[in-house]
Structure 1
Amino acid sequence: MPNASNVDPAELAKFSDLAHRWWDTESEFKPLHQINPLRLNWIDQRAALAGKRVLDVGCGGGILADSMARRGAAEVLGVDLATKSLRVAQLHALETGTPNIQYREIAVEALAAEQPASFDVVTCMEMLEHVPDPASVVQACAALVKPGGWVFFSTINRNARAWALAIGAAEYVLKMLPRGTHEFDRLIRPSELARWARQSSLVLEGSSGLEHNPFTGRYWLSDDTRVNYMLATRREQA
């Protein structure tokens, strides 16, 4: 039975309180704006977004969803449970005239029950580490994608290096993110995420690390998945 209430109210509150700052490129969301072109290109190179039906799970204020629509997706649906963030995403799409994009306040498990095997591409970025049952989200994402379709995940590894850089440095020293954005015990090792994917009939097709130089502000993709990483998977053919 899918968990339709797989949400932590405290986590929703964190992002709701910051909702009005989603599209401020100098706000707490600056890192998301900076890494978005890297993530978008990595996804597009594999899944060829043009003409596809795309779902962005945990879309927040719509940074990735908006860019996928502008990259030529035939339809993009962004889903989240943070009401204020969704309103910001909808307003931004309206103000900027983003084509072919919609947003809904619905749990991914509920959407999977409603629209199974309906999307060519599913993305779930920087969301798994914020929910009580991330494996349930992975399972729902797999259920939502068509056989042969792509599912992309990004999250943060769980080890001493990840704590030092993603929490210690980013939240406490450099203050790139608000304190408490991430909890170490909720971070996810690539082996754990890959296991949940396999259990959900997703085949691992590739991975990438995402690195950052805090002195220059530069972000880049690499093979180093010790801190931030992405996984590309595909749904097994029926």
Structure 2
Amino acid sequence: MNANADPQELSKFGELAHTWWDPLGEFRTLHEINPLRLDWVDAKAGLRGRRIVDVGCGGGILSESMALRGAEVLGIDLSTKPLRVAQLHAMEAGLANVVYREVSAEALAAEAPASFDVVTCMEMLEHVPDPASVVQACATLARPGGWVFFSTINRNARAFLMAIVGAEHALRLVPKGTHEYARFIRPSELSRFARDAGLAVDEVRGMAFNPLTHRAWLTHDPSVNYLVACRRPA
């Protein structure tokens, strides 16, 4: 297996794979924030007709929604069970423009550099040992002029309280143990990873979520969850 993967993380998400497409299950929050992420990426890059790779696609929630917007999507992950769930769901939906592969971002980047109009890597960087390596791979996968999108969680006291104490323990929005505080990434760190990979940072936006109304919205405060849009120079 590729060195830049944590077997415990892969196993954790593998055990939850059967619940991936249950909108009221373990991944309910992911379903509820997905339209916001989707619309943001679409507004920036224009999904219709684009060739896209979704890095760390899991059960395919974002991959499939981008395919429904008219993109040609390749979803990649190293966790076998979620990929099987993604493949089955796409087949049941009759989607021919989304396919899935069990391959690392780094291996695909070596195989197919500069092949994609858009690269998405959402809620994944905080689960790998070397996030900078994934960012570099994402940059390599993008064609000149292409877009690269990331989302992750900031590392500070508020993020610890909101994303771990609140979301995992108090409100049980996500399963306990989903996140490890030490792996959270500050926007300044992610921006540096992106610049070191040759990307230009276009925008950093915060993402807020109200667990009572189950509504998500973009903000200018990246103190907890945040998104980063980058471009590979043409």
Q: Give the counterpart letter for 2:48 in structure 1.
A: A
TM alignment of 1:70-219, pairs within 5 A: 70-73=68-71, 75-219=72-216
Among candidates 218, 223, 226, match of residue 220 of structure 2: 223
Q: Give the counterpart letter for 2:88 in structure 1.
A: L
Among candidates 15, 18, 26, match of residue 16 of structure 2: 18
How far is the alpha carbon of 1:236 from its aligned partner? Answer: 1.5
Tell me what 1:36 maps to.
34
For the 8 Å contact 1:120–1:150, the answer to whether it is kept is yes
Give the Cα–Cα distance (whole angstroms) in 2 for the partners of residues 212 and 33 of structure 1. Answer: 12
Three-state SS of the structure 1 residue aligned to 2:49 is coil
For the 8 Å contact 1:120–1:149, the answer to whether it is kept is yes
Q: Mark the runs of 5 or more structure 2 residues left unpaired by the alignment.
A: none
How far is the alpha carbon of 1:221 from its aligned partner? Answer: 1.0
1:178-228 deviations in Å (ceiling 9; x for gaps)? 111000000000000000000001001112111012232221111110000
Q: How many residues align?
A: 234
Q: Give the counterpart letter for 2:155 in structure 1.
A: R
Give the Cα–Cα distance (whole angstroms) in 2 for the partners of residues 63 and 113 of structure 1. Answer: 26
CA RMSD of aligned residues (A): 1.0
TM-score (norm 1): 0.97
How far is the alpha carbon of 1:114 from its aligned partner? Answer: 0.2
TM alignment of 1:48-59, pairs within 5 A: 48-59=46-57
How far is the alpha carbon of 1:59 from its aligned partner? Answer: 0.1
Three-state SS of the structure 2 residue aligned to 1:99 is coil
Give the Cα–Cα distance (whole angstroms) in 2 for the partners of residues 47 and 228 of structure 1. Answer: 21
Q: Mark the runs of 5 or more structure 1 residues left unpaired by the alignment.
A: none
TM-score (norm 2): 0.98
Give the Cα–Cα distance (whole angstroms) in 2 for the partners of residues 30 and 143 of structure 1. Answer: 32
For the 8 Å contact 1:209–1:223, the answer to whether it is kept is yes
Q: Give the counterpart letter for 1:205 in structure 2.
A: D
Q: Give the counterpart letter for 2:177 in structure 1.
A: G
The structure 1 segments of at least 4 consecutive aligned residues displaced by more than 2 Å after TM superposition are 214-217
1:64-96 deviations in Å (ceiling 9; x for gaps)? 0000000011x1000000000000000000001
Three-state SS of the structure 1 residue aligned to 2:174 is coil
Give the Cα–Cα distance (whole angstroms) in 2 for the partners of residues 98 and 33 of structure 1. Answer: 19
